[in-house]
Structure 1
Amino acid sequence: MGGRHVQDATRLLEKSLDGPERDELVRAARAAVAELGSPTRLLPLVRELAAGAGDPSGCALLSYRHVLGFDKLLLIDGGPRHMLRAHVWHPGRGTPEDIHNHRSPLASYVVRGALGMELYEPAGPAADEGVATSWYRESLTGEDDDWLLEPAGDARLRLVQSARYTAGSGYALPPHVLHRAWCDAERPTVTLFLETGAGRRRYTDVFAGAATGGPAGLAVAKKRLEVNDYLAELSALADLLAEEPTI
C-alpha cells in the first residue's frame, strides 16, 4: 500500500515524465530527480518505504548489489515509463565502473558524498590515440534478467571530460553518452537515479580494460535482495540520510 510520500513522488514523476519529447525529457528528469532528492522529500520517502509502504516485494526483486561496488535500491517502479532508484556507493568496495552507456535517458542527483565522473567518445584512427578497450554489447537474459555480455570487437576511446559532483549537484545524460562513475568520498555516497523508458534500446555498450577480447556469451548473475534485506537496506539508508552531511 502506498503512503503519502510514495503517492506524492509517484504523481510528481508521472506529471514530469509523461509527454515530453526526448530532449525535453532529459531536462524534465533532471528537475524531477533534484526535487525528489532534496532532504525534505527523500528522507520521509525512504522512511515510509522502509516501513513497508509501496511495493516492497516487487521492488526487492529489482534491487541488487551491483558487481561494480554499489547497491541499487528500487524506490518507485513506474513500469516501462520510469524507475526511481537510490544508489549507495561504498568507498573501497568493488572496482571502478567500466565505460558504458544506457538503454534510455537518465538523470542522477548526489544526495550526500561525492561522485567522480568521466565522459568518453570514440578516438580517432591513430593507433596511439585514446585508451584501448574491449567492446561488449550488454543485454538482459533469462527469467532473472541477468547481464549477458557479448564481445563486439576492440575499440579506442578518448577522455573528453572529468568532473566531481558533490551533494546538491547532478547531471542528466542521453542514452548514447559513454561515461563511468565512482565513489569519490571517504564515506558512503548516495545518489538518486532516475531512468526513463523513452526509446529504450535493447542493449548497452560496455568498454572494459585493455583490448584483450573476452569469452563470448559471458553471463553475470544479479545478486538480488530478499524482501527483509531490502527493507533493512532502506532503514540503513534512512539512517545515513539523517546524518550530518559530509563529503
Structure 2
Amino acid sequence: MGGRHVLRARRLMEGALDGPDGLDEEELVRAARAVVAELGSPGRLSALVAELAAGVGDPSGCARLSYRHVLGFDKLLLVSVGTRHMLRAHVWHPGSHRAGREDIHNHRSALASFVVRGTLGMELYETAGDGPLAAARYRESLSAEVSDWLLEPAGRARLRLTQTAEYTAGSGYALPSYALHRAWCASPGAAVTLFLETGAGRRRYTDVFTGDGRDGRAQAYAKEPLEVAEYLAELRALAELIGGSEELARS
C-alpha cells in the first residue's frame, strides 16, 4: 500500500487518464500534460520523492523498472497505475560517459514531460523523401526472453527538422506516440524531468533513427534494473537535486 502522496498521485493519474469511455490520443496528450504539471509542482513532487525515498510503497517493484537508460539518462519509476500509466523521473547528468543527444525516436504511447530542474533541449522531426538528414531506421522492441532493448534494421530514411525548443524548469511538453523527437540536457548542471508514459493504445515497437554507423544487424542493449538499495539512494539524490532535503529529513 502506498503512502499519502503516492496514493494522491495514483488517484490523479487514474481520474485524468482513465475516462469512462476512454480518451483518444489527442485528449490523452492534453490530460497527461496537465497531470505532470500538477505533480511536478515543487512542494508536491519533493514530498512524493521523500516519501518514496523512505521506502514507502513498493521499492522492490519500482527498482525492477528503473535503470540507466541507453539513451543517456537515469530512469526512476515513481508511481504506476498497473501497467497502464507510469510516472517516472528522468535525471540527466552532463559530463557522464552516457550524456549526449538521444537518437531520434517516437514512443509506444502518448507522453508528457515537465522540467523540474535545469534545461532540456528538444528537436522535432518528420520523415520526408527530400529531407536533408539521412539516417538508418530501426524498429525498437523488448526482446521476449530478457526484456532487453532490441534494435532491428528497417532500412534507410530521410528526415527533416521541424522544431527546436528549450524547456526550462516549470515548463514542459506533451506528444502523441508517433511524434519523432530527441532530447538532451541543455544546462551545465543536472536536469530533472517528470515523465508520464500513458498506457492507452500502446504500440508494439518504436521507430529509432540514427546516423552512428551501426552495422545493420539486429542488436540488443541490456536493460539492467537497479538494486533496491541503489534505487533508494538515487531517490535521495533526486530529493537533493529538486530541493526536497527538508521533506527527506522529516520522512
For residues 191-210 of structure 1, what are the structure 2 equivalents within 5 Å?
Answer: 191-209=193-211
Could you tell me which residue of structure 2 aligns to residue 117 of structure 1? 122
Equivalent residues in 2 for 1:91-240 (5 A)? 91-93=94-96, 94=98, 95-125=100-130, 129-209=131-211, 212=213, 214-240=215-241
Shift in Å, 1:143? 3.9
Q: Which amino acid aligns with 2:198?
A: T
SS in 2 for 1:26: helix
What secondary structure does 1:224 align onto? coil
Alignment deviations for residues 60-83 of structure 1 (CA, whole Å, 9 cap, x no partner): 000000122210000012223100
Cross-structure match for 2:249: none
Cα offset, 1:161, TM superposition:
0.4
TM-score, with normalisation over the residues of structure 1? 0.93
Which runs of 4 or more aligned residues in structure 1 lie more than 6 Å from their structure 2 counterparts after TM superposition?
none
Show the counterpart of 2:65: 62
Matches of 2:27 and 2:170 in 1, distance apart? Answer: 22
Aligned residue number for residue 47 of structure 1: 50
Gaps of 5+ in 2: 246-251
Aligned-residue CA RMSD (Å)? 1.5
Indicate how the Cα distance of structure 1 residues 243 and 4 shifts in structure 2: closer, same or farther if over 3 A, else same. Answer: closer
| Partner SS, residue 223 of structure 1 | coil
TM-superposition CA deviations, 1:129-184 (whole Å, max 9, x none): 41111000000013431100000001110101000000000000000000000000
Percent of aligned pairs sharing the same letter: 70
Separation in 1, partners of 2:158, 2:202: 25
Aligned equivalent of 2:248: none
Mapped partners of 1:167, 1:215: distance in 2: 39
Q: TM-score, normalised by structure 2?
A: 0.92
Return 173-182 or 68-77, whichever deviates more. 68-77
Between the aligned partners of 1:22 and 1:156, the Cα distance in structure 2 is: 26
Matched residue count: 240
Q: Distance in 1 between matches of 2:146 and 2:12?
A: 30
